[in-house]
Amino acid sequence: MRVMIAEDDALLREGLVLLLNTAGVQVIAAVDNAEDFLAAVVAERPDAVVVDVRMPPTHQDEGLRAAVRARQIHPGLPVLVLSAHVETEYAVELLADGSGGVGYLLKERVGKVERFLDSLHRVAEGGTAMDPEVIAQLMGRRAADPLAALTAREREVLALMAEGYNNSTIAELLVVSDGAVQKHIRNIFAKLGLPADDRGHHRVRAVLAYLDRQG
């Protein structure tokens, strides 16, 4: 897998390069600004990118805008976003185009090496890897919303779906049967008024896009 990194913190950037190289992942470019990142995407066409949300010159949303632009240049490009803070609008915007794998992790999670690598591989394969804290804030930021109709167990299932776990893994984590998980998912989609499309990360994008439309 050929991966590109865009991160302005030199220590974290070099740490990511070392971590990925050690894990057998080829880092084809590691840059500290959005302009060089986009130029490298055009030149190298990576299999996946790891992008910081805030980069020079304003340290606001340059990384996000560059990631969106990169997907226009390279449709379906898998993007794993790193951020020091939970910024839910960014998570929803990345999910909104409906193509390619996407992930949003807090930088503090990078220290959990196995989980970070699992998230990167999941995103590179077209899946989703959302940080639990991002999901918690997405699910809790509205006082009155359709999620109020969900049971406590259905909320647990929805959160695990949004993290990118498949039905079998959700069943293992909740210590229930696969059939029970499938039933919960059918109920979730029915209560949210969504099509019963249970195909991997498509269901996550549908749920998050739905939540965003309610804001």
Q: pTM of the full predicted structure?
A: 0.74
Question: Please, which residues bridge with residue 30 across strands?
Answer: 5
* Residue 62: predicted pLDDT: 86
Which domains does the chain carry? 2-131 (3.40.50.2300), 142-213 (1.10.10.10)
DSSP string, 173-215: HHT--HHHHHHHHHHHHHHHT------THHHHHHHHHHHHHT-
Residue 143 clears pLDDT 50, i.e. is over it: no
Question: Is the pLDDT at 214 greater than 80, yes or no?
Answer: no
Distances from the Cα of 162 to the Cα of 35, 62, 104, 127, angstroms:
31, 25, 11, 10
| Dihedral angle, C-alpha 14, 20, 22, 26, nearest 10 ° | -110
pLDDT in tens, 41-97: 999 999 999 999 888 888 888 888 888 889 888 988 999 999 887 776 666 777 666
